Amino acid sequence: MRSDNVKKGIPTAPNRSLFYALGYTKEELERPLIGVVCSYNEIVPGHMNLDKIAEAVKAGIRAAGGTPIEFPAIAVCDGIAMGHVGMKYSLVTRDLIADSTEAMAMAHQFDGLVMIPNCDKNVPGLLMAAARVNVPTIFVSGGPMLAGHLNDGRRTCLSHMFEAVGSYYAGKLDEAGVEEYENNACPTCGSCSGMYTANSMNCLTEAIGMGLRGNGTIPAVWSARIRLAKHAGMQIMDLVAKDIKPRDIMTEAAFKNAETVDMALGCSTNTMLHLPAIAHECGIALDLDASNDISSNTPNLCHLAPAGNTYMEDLEQAGGVYAVMNELTKKGLLDTSVMTCTGKTLAENLKGVENRNPEIIRPIDNPYSHDGGIAVLKGNLAPEGCVVKRSAVAPEMMKHSGPARVFDSEEEAIAAIYDGKIVAGDVVVIRYEGPKGGPGMREMLNPTSAIAGMGLDKDVALITDGRFSGATRGASIGHVCPEAAQGGTIAFVEEGDTINIDITSCSITLDVDEKTLSERKAKWVCPEPKVKTGYLARYAKLVTSAARGAVLE
């Protein structure tokens, strides 16, 4: 066993003495040592139940003959961090999580790992760590939140909550109306109830083969989630016995499967950052252009919030991610020969799977659209690409031309939106919010929700070198590369310039001739860094383009 390095023979007697100091017995040390990486805390609603998940995992490990040893991982609540300096610290935690988990797993020589994440950066951060450490690993997440209900019975969620603020500033909702959303949008623990980033990534743990069936969709408050955690604890022992490692599962074919499922589900645009970063740790390069190729061949089968009015609990009851994958296999869109954490191939896992609700999961021959939920746009404004959640864009905004309204920070843009200075037809440009320029590539849920809440989501586009929450809807185009801080074209956009967006043709252009752009570039001076000390300053120096997943080098 790998753990023999810290527990076997006379040379490791000092090591064993420290295990005895922890209360472990000789009998426990003779079993495989399984690290249980739990990101429980008391500040993230999606993580407040993870102590219960960890206890269930440990019960499963013991039942199958292993010794569980728990250690923590950090987590940020993107909703609480939204709209202020805290959001600069969201994406950057992905690498802190990966680095710290790698350090703990390598320092203590575990034979296997069970990862217990839930929210936005924990899932990709722990997948990155799993790829680096490459010992048998399985994921079991905390599960999604149930949808809320307003007083009149309508279902609601966090994206409606953010949009309610925009409605208030537009005079469409009073303070009591905002309070009603506030008290009902998030009724339980769990990752927020739509197909936002956390749920997108948890669903993709199934698609890529690292999580058991239901990991992305079984609600946090259902007892089935506890049973799933026990089964994950049992299953890690089988993976250890068979020596099935993350890189045996997360192959190039598995990443293609994950991207295909991503397009079918209509996942968050943040997956276009996280999948390349995870693949990078596996020694695999994911190209944004390839994403468009996959999207063009993958029908969009689900319209969960914010794209529609269905929620994660509905997807679970319809058959979950496995039912979506089963639909995709009917057109040969997945490689079902890949190995998974069940110890079986995807083909074996999908036997007997049914789509129990064709209204929630559209059959492959009756999709919402014949192309996928995410599109990568390119043009002179984004030579390296930018991304949009196509499935959440109104038909009226699939093509749009309008004057640029330029802001050098999120704060400037949100003030203008709340003051009623943005009108129908405008293209809001928010720059210097990229991985380097932010630093940290903040999500722009506040401005996009304000636009939607004011009823302008079918008339106004928003473009940024920052990111969007998975809760964002409308013609919200993020990850513009190169970013402004690196001298990308977005840095040279001026107030009133015409921007042409054609999501159907995957193009985005600034209607300014090359000579004028060259003159503007010659005069451009990169602003002083917004943060000059601490972790963010170090991150800004090391981070790469969003087109490469914003990995560190």
Domain parsing of the chain, residue ranges: 31-146+188-349, 148-184, 379-548
Inter-residue contact 33 to 70 (CB < 8 Å):
no
pLDDT at 215: 98
Cβ contact 466:441 at 8 Å: yes
Q: Which amino acid is it at 403?
A: P
Nearest to 278 by CA among 95, 144, 29: 95
Domain 31-146+188-349 has CATH 3.30.2320.50: no
Chain centroid to CA 51: 22
Alpha carbons 295 and 260: distance in angstroms, whole number: 7
- Characterize the bridge pairing of strands 399-407 and 498-502: antiparallel
Q: What is the DSSP letter of 94?
A: H
**Can you name the residues that pair with 33 across neighbouring β-strands?**
67
Angle, in degrees to the nearest 10, between helices 50-63 and 223-242: 40
Calculate the alpha carbon distances from 136 to 37, 65, 249, 334 in Å.
13, 15, 10, 24
Q: Model confidence over 454-497: pLDDT tens digits?
A: 999 999 999 999 999 888 899 999 999 999 999 999 999 999 99
Q: Which residues contact 170 (CB under 8 A, 6 or more apart)?
A: 420, 453, 454, 455
Q: How far apart are CA 332 and CA 377, in angstroms?
A: 26
- The arithmetic mean of pLDDT across residues 170-181, rounded, is 96
* pLDDT band, residue 185 (cuts 50/70/90): very high
Q: Residue 423, Cβ neighbours under 10 Å: how many?
A: 12
pLDDT class of 287 with cuts at 50, 70, 90:
confident
Residue 180 scores a pLDDT above 90: yes
Average pLDDT over residues 298-316: 96
Tokens of 62: 């013991």
pLDDT band at 292 (very low <50, low <70, confident <90, very high): very high
The answer to whether 296 is a known catalytic residue is no
Residue type, 217: T
Per annotation, catalytic residue among 469, 476, 505, 545: 469
74-119 pLDDT tens trace: 999 999 999 899 999 999 999 999 999 999 999 999 999 999 999 9
**Distance, CA of 312 to CA of 198 (rounded, Å):** 11
pLDDT digits (tens, 9 = 90+) for 199-213: 999 999 999 999 999
CB atoms closer than 10 angstroms to residue 20: 12
Output the pLDDT for position 288.
84
What's the one-letter identity of residue 55?
E
For residue 178, give every residue at least 6 positions away whose Cβ sits within 8 Å of its Cβ, in sequence order, or none.
164, 165, 168
Per-residue pLDDT at 51: 98
pLDDT digits (tens, 9 = 90+) for 120-175: 999 999 999 999 999 999 999 999 999 999 999 999 999 999 999 999 999 999 99
Distances (CA, A) of 69 to 29, 35, 72, 445, 475: 11, 5, 10, 38, 46
Average pLDDT on 260-281 reads 97
Alpha-carbon distance of 317 to 33, in angstroms, equals: 36
How many Å apart are CA 79 and CA 62, to the nearest integer? Answer: 36
Rounded distance between C-alpha atoms, residue 190 and residue 44, angstroms:
9
Instruction: Give the CA angle between residues 79, 77, 156 to the nearest 5°.
Output: 40
> Percent of the chain having pLDDT more than 90?
96
> CA–CA separation, 134 vs 102, rounded Å?
10
Return mean pLDDT, the chain. Answer: 96
pLDDT digits (tens, 9 = 90+) for 379-420: 999 999 999 999 999 999 999 999 999 999 999 999 999 999
Alpha-carbon span 237 to 136, nearest angstrom: 9
Q: Looking at the domain 379-548, which fold is it? A: Glucose Oxidase; domain 1 (3.50.30)
Mean pLDDT of 6-10: 97
Average pLDDT for 193-201: 97
pLDDT value at residue 547: 95
Q: pLDDT band at 336, cuts 50/70/90?
A: very high
pLDDT at 284: 97
Fill in the DSSP letter of residue 426.
Answer: -
Angstrom distances, CA of residue 374 to CA of 46, 180, 299, 384, 418: 25, 32, 11, 16, 28
pLDDT of residue 471: 85
Question: Do β-strands 137-139 and 112-116 pair in parallel, antiparallel, or remain unpaired?
Answer: parallel
H helix or E strand, kind and range, residue 415 = helix 410-418
Whether the per-residue pLDDT at 276 is higher than 90: the answer is yes
